[in-house]
Every structure is written in C-alpha cells, then in structure tokens.
Amino acid sequence: MSITAFPSSNSSTPNNSIAPWQSAIITEWNARRAAEEEENQRPLFPLAMNPFGEDEILAMTEVLLTGRLTLGSQVEKAEKKFAETVGIPYAVMVNSGSSANLLAVSAITNKLRPIHCNSGDQVLVPAVCWSTSVFPLLQNGLCPVFVDVDPRTLNVTLAELERKLTPRVKAVMAVHVLGNSIDMRQMMNFVTRHKLMLIEDTCESLGSFCKTGTENE
C-alpha cells in the first residue's frame, strides 16, 4: 500500500507560480497523456489507473534533483502522513505493496521473535488475490493453503477458514480485495481462538472501512 506526502491534485498548477523548467515538465506530461488518449480511440477500462498528476510529477522531480533517492526527508513525511491516516503510531515506507507483504512475512518468520512461523508451516490465503500475496510466503519457506471466497465480496468466509484449518496452519493472510473490507471482528475472533498470526494485505483497499459498533447500529 502507498500514500504520497505531497498535495494531490488533478488540476494544473498556475503557470505563473512555477519555474520555467517546471512548466516545461507539465507541458510534456500533458502532451503525452493527450497522445495516449488519442491513440486509444475505443473505450478503455483499465485494471488500474495512475492516481498521480502534475503535483506529484513535480514533487518527484524535486526529489530526483536532490540526488538522494532513499531515506530522505520526503520518505519521513510520507511515513508520518501514512501513520496518521490509518491511525497507527509508526509506518515503514517501501517501494510497493509487494515489498510490504514480503517485509511482513519476513517479520513473522524471524526466529528472533518468541513466536514465529517455521519453514513448512501453512498459511491460509484467499483463492482470489494478487500473486504477491502468495510469493512472499513461498520465499520464506511457508506453504500457502488457498481458501475459497464469497462470490459476492471476493473475500474469505469464516466457514471456509474453519474448513481449511489443520494443525499445520500457523497464520492467515487476510486480503481485502478491490476495496471490499473483510469482517475483521470475525477474523480477529478466528485467529485469536486458534492462536494464529495474522497479516493484513490492504494494498487494494487502503482507505476503506468495515462496519463498526453493535449489530443494531
């Protein structure tokens, strides 16, 4: 999952408030986008679209011009902004959601932890997910066990999780698919009852919410 520390806007920055080199970059950016639209005459329904615009392009260029591409001040800003947004004390920035999953799985297999997964342990994974929800498990010697999903939400159900549970299962990879939040009250109850570790892959659903409160609210 990712979040930018820079102001996000699809509107053009007023040309009289930016430097000539910035204006040139924006002009080139818009020209290339227009060329792409002209080339694709038929309606296009992409799997994903770039969420960034002119502000992000200029901010990225500013970072490139500093010559410092890792662990700079903008990384620290992004980490703080992300932590504030999701309501947690700390966040660690990586280059992609794929790397975030790898980092999380590496953490639960770290033998310095009192409780950790060992090579050969099984992890319950939804049958509908991105490949990089699975590859980190294999890279760390774990065995993914695919769990069928509810066709309405594309998320795993408690009944299917229970059906796939064996003594070898030590963790669950919970993937919130395409903005559909898993019922985390049920999920937390499941992993707590069975003493399992939990990883949440929220790459596809950052900013979404699940129901809170009592059943009558």
Give the CATH number for residue 118.
3.40.640.10
Same domain, 56 and 140: no
Nearest Cα to Cα of residue 127 among 151, 107, 94 = 151
- Mean pLDDT, the chain, whole residue set: 84
Of residues 3 and 158, which shows the higher confidence score? 158
Q: Which tens digits make up the pLDDT trace of 131-146? A: 999 999 999 999 999 9
Instruction: Answer yes or no: is 206 within a domain.
Output: no
What is the pLDDT confidence band of residue 214, given thresholds at 50, 70 and 90?
very low
Q: Which two tokens stand for residue 10?
A: 């699809």
Structural domain contains residue 34: yes
SS (H, E, C) 36-104: HHHHCCCCCCCCCCCCCCHHHHHHHHHHHHHCCCCCCHHHHHHHHHHHHHHCCCCCCCCCCHHHHHHHH
CA distance 191 to 175: 14
Does 5 fall in a domain? no
Cross-sheet strand order for the sheet of 122-126: 143-147, 122-126, 169-175, 197-201
**pLDDT 10s digits, 18-60:** 888 889 999 998 888 888 777 766 656 666 677 788 888 898 8
User: Residue 126 corresponds to which amino acid?
Assistant: P
Q: Could you list the residue range(s) of the whole structural domain that residue 176 is in?
A: 97-201
Number of structural domains (the chain) is 2
Greater pLDDT, 46 or 128: 128
Which of 67, 86, 105 delimits the end of a domain? Answer: 86
Question: Is residue 61 located within the same domain as residue 101?
Answer: no
User: Percent of the chain beyond pLDDT 90?
Assistant: 44
Let me know whether 42 and 129 are in one domain: no
The answer to the question of residue 217 being in a domain is no
In a domain, 162, yes or no: yes
b/e 19-48 (16+ beta carbons within 10 angstroms → b): eeebbebbeeeeeeeeeeeeeeeeeeeeee
Is 78 a domain residue?
yes
101 and 174 in a single domain? The answer is yes
CB of 21 closer than 8 Å to CB of 62: no
Q: Cβ distance 158 to 164 under 8 Å?
A: no
Question: Looking at the structure, do residues 74 and 113 belong to the same domain, yes or no?
Answer: no
Tokens for 80, please give them: 């703080």
Residue 186 within any structural domain of the chain: yes
pTM of the entire structure?
A: 0.75
